[in-house]
Structure 1
């Protein structure tokens, strides 16, 4: 590509340089998806499109800076899904945290794992003991790719670990695990 001929600047790694609204060095040209050097996930490209649509047809306020608690999933068996800080990262930042951790095979309140005979894995939540908010989670379990979305939503909207623990979930479902695991918070 001859992006330089169009006056579009690129980074040394070849990614198209963009601002928070995905505009390139040519204000009338946007770069979305894998070309702009951001996280290379389909759902990020979809959000890129929403940002550009907001610039073109909306109020122009939406930006990449709005992306908070973006989950990731590695589709292995069972899936490994993460969001936010790991326990190690939180401690390295000097955060006062507690951890809720349990092996999936030991989670009584997760009947779906037994129903589909997939009890391998682990669930781990990092919790701020002062605010009861969740700065991060790592889920290696059946339905982790779905559960992590609920955790990410909770993180974005300040829903506490206690609220997730005390919520009512359908049965049998994997979300029921929140009822149990958040009750096992330790130092």
Structure 2
């Protein structure tokens, strides 16, 4: 089979692959981008965007239910789950269509190839086209892997026969509101989906192996969220090891778990597995190109995101590390600047902000208290209850706190913001860190009143040695 040559090949139409294709095309390179599934990668199809679209519906329902706290007494909201899903599907398809138009019409130097790619030799890909439309051989001196991850499914007896959902399949396929959603895993996906479906009307149980939810966070950061979820009616089963799943003839699912209090049997209608992710690197022929992976299958890269194979780069979740859309997009910028602008940058040196989109949101940047202690970084810490923020009192959204860590040089080391607008407030602290500001400059900054941003004036008033 004769091979077609390009300047660059990109496998995966995700948050690094698409903008990289645009940038290379605009620089005059001939690019082929290969995608076997929906355009847009995880964020557009079963990650950030569709989750937040449905979270908006859940949060609106919650606002109606709690409006009595502000003197408004509407009737109990009726959740039309089919309409919620239809809105999510419509907006998701709009995003896919926009990407396809940009890839196929806006950039004549880009060719979109629908199919599954695998290496047959260095710098050479074999493509099995979708819908059995044939095969192709493509070559290029530059190849970029942006294949992402998929949900990890634990080895639990009976789980395959009983059936389960992942965030991928739930957001793509679920059309009915679960009567009782059992969630296996209490990290970011578990808590976001748990609160969302509880507010949409499902009974929810979260099963977690650790003693707290989101156990990567400081305990005094994750526990307030845990308490809010319990107050909303979510059942938590902690320090639990799931060992068997079954489903009876009536469709009732039973998950059996070992807990400190003995065996528990949790019955529900749907099971969501949210126990982590694994890289999409199987059956890609990576070894034929000389590309190395770690023991978990993640592609190994150097500081410039290059693999061991000449001319081959890995971007986004498939290389391991923090799995966030904004990190994947920054991978694109690192490669773009290196290849097109001769501006190399080590990807290890960037900040890693993130937001858990529960309500309240949890925004995090920089060091946590436990990380600072582990790294033996001296710090002072101030924790301000959200109930002391004027804007919070006025809006009735007083749950949570703002916590900041300050170094001996009076500059910010990190922040954990668990309150309304937590992600936006965290980003203001990130800007202060990027600007190398001392905390006194924030304390004395003139900020419009009454805004959430005023917390920057007050967040440091309780500084104590950590």
Ranges of 4+ aligned residues in structure 1 off by more than 6 Å:
none
- Residues 59-115 of structure 1: per-residue CA shift (max 9 Å, x gap): 132220331x3212111110111122222332444443222111101234xx1x234
Contact kept? 2:353, 2:365, Cα under 8 Å: yes
1:138 and 2:421 aligned: no
- Counterpart of 1:121 in structure 2 is 400
1:31 and 2:314 aligned: yes
Alpha-carbon distance in structure 1 between the residues aligned to 2:305 and 2:375: 30
Q: CA 1:92–1:17 in structure 2 vs 1: closer, same or farther (change >3 Å)?
A: closer
1:136 Cα deviation after fit: 1.6
Q: CA 1:76–1:154 in structure 2 vs 1: closer, same or farther (change >3 Å)?
A: same
Alpha-carbon distance in structure 1 between the residues aligned to 2:345 and 2:380: 34
- Counterpart of 2:462 in structure 1 is 184
- Counterpart of 1:153 in structure 2 is 431
Contact kept? 1:70, 1:152, Cα under 8 Å: no
The Cα RMSD (Å) is 1.7
Alpha-carbon distance in structure 1 between the residues aligned to 2:348 and 2:370: 25
- Counterpart of 1:13 in structure 2 is 296
1:83 and 2:365 aligned: yes
1:170 and 2:452 aligned: no
Give the gaps of 5 or more residues in structure 2: 1-283
Q: Radius of gyration: which is bigger?
A: 2
Alpha-carbon distance in structure 2 between the residues aligned to 1:132 and 1:168: 19
TM superposition score normalised by structure 2: 0.37
Alpha-carbon distance in structure 2 between the residues aligned to 1:27 and 1:81: 38
Q: CA 1:93–1:7 in structure 2 vs 1: closer, same or farther (change >3 Å)?
A: closer
Alpha-carbon distance in structure 2 between the residues aligned to 1:93 and 1:9: 30
1:15 Cα deviation after fit: 0.7
2:384 to 88, 95, 102: 102
Q: CA 1:27–1:174 in structure 2 vs 1: closer, same or farther (change >3 Å)?
A: farther
Alpha-carbon distance in structure 1 between the residues aligned to 2:307 and 2:446: 46
Contact kept? 2:389, 2:452, Cα under 8 Å: no
Which is bigger in relative contact order (C-alpha 8 A, separation at least 6)? 1
1:65 and 2:65 aligned: no
1:44 and 2:323 aligned: no
Alpha-carbon distance in structure 2 between the residues aligned to 1:96 and 1:8: 41
Give the gaps of 5 or more residues in structure 1: none
- Counterpart of 2:209 in structure 1 is none
1:156 Cα deviation after fit: 3.0
Structure 1 window deviating more from structure 2 (161-170 vs 14-23): it is 161-170
Structure 1 window deviating more from structure 2 (15-24 vs 170-179): it is 170-179
- Residues 21-76 of structure 1: per-residue CA shift (max 9 Å, x gap): 11111131111111111211000000000011012101132220331x32121111
- Counterpart of 1:55 in structure 2 is 338
Alpha-carbon distance in structure 2 between the residues aligned to 1:8 and 1:20: 16
Contact kept? 1:84, 1:136, Cα under 8 Å: yes
Q: CA 1:93–1:37 in structure 2 vs 1: closer, same or farther (change >3 Å)?
A: closer
Alpha-carbon distance in structure 1 between the residues aligned to 2:344 and 2:462: 40
